[in-house]
Amino acid sequence: MPSAQLALGLQLRDQGISLVSQNNAAWRQATRRIAARIAEQEGQVAADQLHELCGPPTHQNAYGGVLRSPHFLLVGYRLSQHPSAHARRIGVYQLSKRGREELLDG
């Protein structure tokens, strides 16, 4: 069971992602579709690939809002190759059934 501090940290993180995502709605939707195509073709996608293809949003944390959604499933982690990420651990995602239906078929 998470501690109160961890629970608060997770809540604040999610609120921050939501706020950043709302301010980047058009960018987020276009980037989510690109991420879906990558995941469909390569089997998985990570934020590094989006940095290369989509360019910067108005806030760097917007990438979290793209991949942390019902459209993608977290399947693992790897070290980022993007220089500004300083080799931190990033999520690797696969396209969910909902993502396939809404982003590729829809």
Every domain of the chain and the residues it spans: 4-105
Mean pLDDT by 10 residues, the chain (106 residues): 72 65 75 93 92 77 84 95 82 96 88
**3-state class of 82 per DSSP?**
coil
- What's the confidence (pLDDT) of residue 99? 96
- What's the confidence (pLDDT) of residue 36? 95
- What's the confidence (pLDDT) of residue 19? 58
Q: Where are the alpha helices (DSSP H) in the chain?
A: 4-22, 25-42, 47-54, 62-67, 97-99
